[in-house]
Amino acid sequence: MAWRSTLFRDRQEAGERLVPLLRDLGLDRPIVYGLLRGGAAVAAPIAAALGAPLQPFLVRKLGVPWQPELAFGALAEGAAEPVLNQDVVTLCGLTPAQMSRIQAEQAQELARRQAVYLHGRERLDPRGRAAILVDDGLATGASARAALRALRGRGAAPLILAIPVAPRESIDSLSAEADRIVCAEVSSIPFGIGGCYGDFHQLEDEEVLALLAAAEGPPQP
Give me the CATH code for the 11-57+122-216 domain, please. Answer: 3.40.50.2020
Beta carbons within 10 angstroms of residue 158's beta carbon: 15
- Three-state secondary structure call for residue 61: strand
pLDDT, one tens digit per residue, over 60-90 is: 999 999 998 888 999 999 887 899 988 899 9
Residue ranges of alpha helices (H) inside the chain are 11-23, 38-50, 86-92, 96-117, 142-153, 168-173, 205-216
Whole-angstrom Cα distance, residue 214 to residue 209?
9
Domain coordinates in residue numbering, the chain: 11-57+122-216
What count of residues does the chain have? 221
Whole-angstrom Cα distance, residue 207 to residue 104?
26
The more confidently predicted of residues 219 and 177 is 177
Q: What is the pLDDT of residue 217?
A: 65
Whether 179 and 120 have beta carbons less than 8 Å apart is answered as no
pLDDT, one tens digit per residue, over 180-208 is: 999 999 998 888 899 999 999 999 999 99
Q: What is the pLDDT of residue 1?
A: 44
Handedness of CA 129, 33, 179, 59 (dihedral sign): negative
Whole-angstrom Cα distance, residue 145 to residue 5?
27
